[in-house]
């Protein structure tokens, strides 16, 4: 059984997700942006040695800020990021740490992904789709009927495009891409409440208005 648990972290309250498969006895994290006592206790409870990946939807500091520390605690875990955001992990002018007067502990990702990449998880495959716009290397991860959209798609909104490598036209194409996926999905967003793809198709102005997409 796949279980998704949300842990808002940091001053900006970015959503970090802990995804577990009890049957396969494996887990992965999505966007470890900051320390969370509750998250670390949950990881210990499940078994830190069972955590396989840290999946990063994009390279901004509020989504990657605790990765280096996590790697020290769990060196076997593979850090995954979109190939066009790989430099964000070592450059504070791109990951925006400088913008908030912060210093970012640098690291290198272990696996670079892009459109069509797949990652083995238990008896399943995590599928990767490229969704540039918020950043050039932004990606979404799909596992069964769950999609982790980072700052591409929010409940009723979309991510900003005015940061380095952001692009409004690419964002509109990415939103159109998500809207055109077959079937419904549980949408786990980078901030605020989670949603479903059907709800966004009906209610998100960036999906409902044709002049936007």
pLDDT top residue among 53 and 104 = 53
Q: pLDDT-based confidence at 211, cuts 50/70/90? A: low
Cβ proximity of 162 and 148 under 8 Å: no
Section 134-148 average pLDDT: 98
Find tokens 């605020």 and name the residue.
192
What is the third-level CATH fold of 2-208? Metallo-beta-lactamase; Chain A (3.60.15)
Is the confidence at residue 213, as pLDDT, over 60?
Answer: no
The separation between the first and the last C-alpha atoms of the chain, rounded to the nearest angstrom, is 35
pTM beyond cutoff 0.85: yes
Strand partners, 17: 6, 30
pLDDT of 47: 98
Return d(Cα 213, Cα 209) in angstroms, integer: 7
Q: Which of 10, 2, 74 is nearest to 37 (CA)?
A: 10
Locate the domains of the chain by residue range. 2-208
């Amino acid at each position: 059984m796949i279980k998704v648990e949300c842990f808002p972290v940091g001053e900006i309250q970015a959503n970090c997700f802990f995804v577990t498969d009890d049957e396969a006895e494996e887990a992965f994290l999505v966007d470890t942006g900051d320390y969370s006592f509750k998250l670390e206790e949950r990881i210990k409870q499940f078994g830190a040695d069972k955590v396989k990946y840290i999946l990063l939807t994009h390279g901004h500091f509020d989504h990657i800020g605790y990765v280096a520390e996590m790697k020290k605690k769990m060196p076997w875990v593979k850090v995954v990021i979109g190939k066009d955001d790989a430099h964000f992990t070592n450059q504070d002018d791109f990951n925006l740490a400088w913008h908030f007067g912060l210093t970012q502990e640098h690291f290198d990702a272990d696996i670079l992904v892009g459109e069509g990449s797949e990652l083995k998880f238990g008896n399943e495959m995590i599928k990767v789709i490229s969704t540039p716009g918020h950043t050039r290397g932004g990606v979404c991860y799909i596992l069964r009927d769950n999609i982790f959209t980072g700052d591409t798609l929010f409940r009723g909104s979309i991510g900003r495009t005015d940061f380095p490598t952001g692009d409004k036209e690419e964002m509109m194409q990415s939103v159109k891409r998500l809207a055109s996926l077959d079937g419904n999905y549980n949408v786990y967003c980078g901030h605020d409440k989670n949603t479903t793809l059907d709800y966004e198709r009906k209610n998100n102005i960036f999906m409902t208005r044709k002049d936007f997409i």
